[in-house]
Structure 1
């Protein structure tokens, strides 16, 4: 196993990590920003007000993008097993 191959596998793994975690993180960031602006304009400083909408939004995001995430992980795992088999 060469250094180039290891670097390529690591690069692919990091890209897949970003693709899998990205939608949930972006939704949480967006919902958190909207709730923070709402809290600042209404001067309501309740901690649970930001938690519940974020939780629901992330759950909805996982329901909508879960199939994509799972297929991405399965394809990556298959490619890793194929590389292991050829060594």
Structure 2
């Protein structure tokens, strides 16, 4: 009897541990996705500001800043999409 109870408790404990690990991965991925979404929003703002500056004064420096801001936004967008894919696959 005790062996059966112990085996049951071990099985349940392993299942619970697996669920906790899965949830932790999901929470971590979700947190990263949330952070990247905020970073993406900020990058869009900075890119827009750079675009306005470039429209007001077309200089090599403003063009470089615009290119940098666009590059940063695209990198963040790529990372955010990957984080969302990871979150979705972990949730499944």
Shared topology, TM-score over 0.5?
Answer: no
TM-score bracket for this pair, using the shorter chain length:
0.3 to 0.5
TM-score under structure 2 length normalisation: 0.43
